[in-house]
Structures are given as C-alpha cells and as structure tokens.
Amino acid sequence: MCGRYAVTTDPAKLAAEIDAVNEVPVPLDAAAGTPGSPGPNYNVAPTTTVMTVVKRHDHDDPDDDPRLRVRAMRWGLVPAWAKEVGKGPLLFNARAETAGEKSSFRASVKSRRCLVPMDGWYEWKKGPPDSKGKPTKVPFFMSPVDGTRLFMAGLWSVWHDRTDDAAPPLLSCSILTTDAVGDLREVHDRMPLIMPYDNWDAWLDPDHRAPDTLFAPPSADVAAAIAIREVSPLVNRVANNSPELLNPV
C-alpha cells in the first residue's frame, strides 16, 4: 500500500523539469480547499492536496495535441457519482489488478490516469514487542538509489457539488498499488505502482485506455533501483513534518 510519502519540489519547478503547464494555484490548497503546502512536505498523508501530472487537451481547443499539466488534487479519490465528500471510504489507494472492475475507479481507468510525483514513500514493518508487550511497527523509507524523483501511477476524478452550482469542481486522486517486487517484499507485500518515463505517453493518453501491461508490477530492475532504509518513528505522527523524518536510523 502507499499511505504516506515525501515530496520536496514545488509545482513550478516540477513543471519546468518535465516541460509541463503549471496549473497549480498558490497556495497549493486553493485548488481543493484541503490542507496542503506548495513547499516541501516530508509527511504527506491522505486528504492532503498534492501535486499530480496529467496529459489533457486545452479546454478551449479540444482538437489540439494534449499537453502535460501539473495539477493540484485531493489525495483520496471522490467518485463523480458521490453525493458528498468525506462520507464514503477514503480511496487513497486502488489495487492495479482490479481497479477497472470497481465502480469508484472504472471511469478513471478509461480516461483519467495521472502520475503522482514523490521523493519516496513510507511503509511500516512489524517490529518486536515494546516493554509492555504491545506490538510495534517500524517505519521504512523507500526512494531511488540515485536520488531522482519517482512518479507513481494514479487515477483521478472530478466531483461537482450538486447543492452549490457556484462551487468549483473538486479534483481528487488515488495511487495505484501492486504486488511488491524484489527486496521491497521484505517490508510490505504491496507497493505503489512506479511508472517509468518511457511509459508516460501511453499511461497519460487521455483518448485511449492504457495497455494492460502498464498495470502489472514493475520489473526487477526498477525495484532494484529503490533503496530501503529504516527511519525514525517520528513519521508515525502526521503533525511531524521536517527533513529529519528521512534520516536513517
């Protein structure tokens, strides 16, 4: 699964790096009305407003070639058919194997796929009992060995408040997960679905469904390029948000 991650770039810098249109307003949370920050976030949690990358046609010129766009979305997908936000399950993850079969994700799988950029993600592994005999969980941080950025496969949706015609649409997303590969299996049996750059065009294509092969677990080479390190239990509290969360124990 993927329930917490870190990202240290800002929308404008990311857009420049990948030659995308930056559509994120300042501050970041203005797009969705949920907690967020345009700066580094070392402890991103569900319901936070996060950066995503989509490929869409221009709204005023739908016949033009689609372009990469950086957008702000609520992490926790709200299906278009939901009556209100926050009443249903918090859909921050979707299983890549079955997302296309679920009513919450079916439409997004067809034409609303995105990328979620991050420096790395956290996962917890069962640890030894504490002094009182209670079970513990040890946090780990997974990130590229070479220090580059990861882009995870995601799904997104547009929700409209039917009780307020003047309210702006809510964009929200979910990160796809898949079976863990290689050494990552020692931490957790699931992992976010990493989307290599070579597959971006097919994954983000707004006019065609992505090939089934892109929903499969990453290759062993991709997994081998991910470093795994134990980090401080400080990450267990969402309120803690500083670079020291990434320091190895």
Beta carbons within 8 Å of 134's beta carbon, 6+ residues apart: none
198-225, pLDDT tens digit by residue? 999 999 999 999 999 999 999 999 999 9
| Cβ(52)–Cβ(44) below 8 Å | no
Domain span holding position 95 = 4-26+36-246
Q: Does residue 167 belong to any structural domain of this protein?
A: yes
- Cα-Cα-Cα-Cα dihedral of 221, 202, 150, 27, to 10°? 180
Residue 55 lies in a domain: yes
Q: Is 31 among the domain residues? A: no
Q: Computed over its alpha carbons, how large is the radius of gyration of the chain?
A: 18
Q: Two tokens at 105? A: 């994700």
Instruction: Write out pLDDT tens, residues 84-143.
Output: 998 889 999 999 999 999 999 999 999 999 999 999 999 999 888 888 888 889 999 999
**79 lies in a domain?**
yes
Q: What is the pLDDT of residues 131-164, one digit of tens each?
A: 888 888 999 999 999 999 999 999 999 999 988 8
Place of tokens 């590969």: 181
pLDDT band at 14 (very low <50, low <70, confident <90, very high): very high
Assess contact for 4 and 44: CB atoms under 8 A.
Answer: yes
Q: What is the CATH number of the domain that holds 170?
A: 3.90.1680.10
Predicted TM-score of the model (pTM): 0.93
Q: Could you give the number of structural domains in the chain? A: 1
Q: Which residue type occupies 51?
A: M
Rounded-to-integer distance, Cα 216 and Cα 222, Å: 13
In a domain, 144, yes or no: yes
- C-beta of residue 71 within 8 angstroms of C-beta of residue 24: yes
Percent of the chain with pLDDT over 90: 81
Could you tell me if residue 232 is inside a domain?
yes
